[in-house]
Amino acid sequence: MNLYDFTVRDTNGYNVQLNKYKNKVVLVVNTAIKCGLTPQFEGLQKIYDALKDKGFEILDFPCNQFGEQAPGTDEEINRFCTLNYRTSFPRFAKIDVNGANEIPLYKWLKSQAKDLDDTKIEWNFAKFLLDKNGNVFKRYPSTTKPEDLLKDINGLLG
């Protein structure tokens, strides 16, 4: 099993098969728009702009499980990110990353990442970096700044 085996919903409610990201280095992030870490969108977009043409993707999954810091509809969240941080990487429908309603993708991601002891996502902006084969390379805690991932991302891009 790898990233390409999963299907998720986009912000319009349509199913998206993640096999469309084959042969790309992918960063999966659960985000929120009213969080102290929300400014990480700026760093994420900067990395995306610099590396998207080299085979890098960011998959953004808004999550309202932590302090209800991702309120609103998918459309409202998308508008906020686009207007305030000029994000252009793919954003998907709001999800749960822990608990009974967590999506299968996150169950799998957490089972694959042995870097952190806790199997639960700790907060908004937890990050999973996947290699070009759709396998989890590493999990990073929420406090890890996007620019601190550059060495690992560039290493996977080759």
Return the SS3 of 97: coil
130-149: b or e for each residue (b if 16 or more CB lie within 10 Å)?
bbbebebbbbbebebebeeb
Contact 135, 111 (CB under 8 A): no
Helix (H) or strand (E) holding 110: helix 104-112
Q: Are strands 25-31 and 127-130 parallel, antiparallel or unpaired?
A: antiparallel
For residue 65, how many C-alpha atoms fall within 13 Å in the half-sphere facing its CB? 22
In the set 26, 27, 28, 35, the catalytic residue is: 35
Does the annotation count 81 as an active-site position? no
Helix axis angle, 40-51 relative to 74-85, nearest 10°?
Answer: 80
Catalytic residues: 35
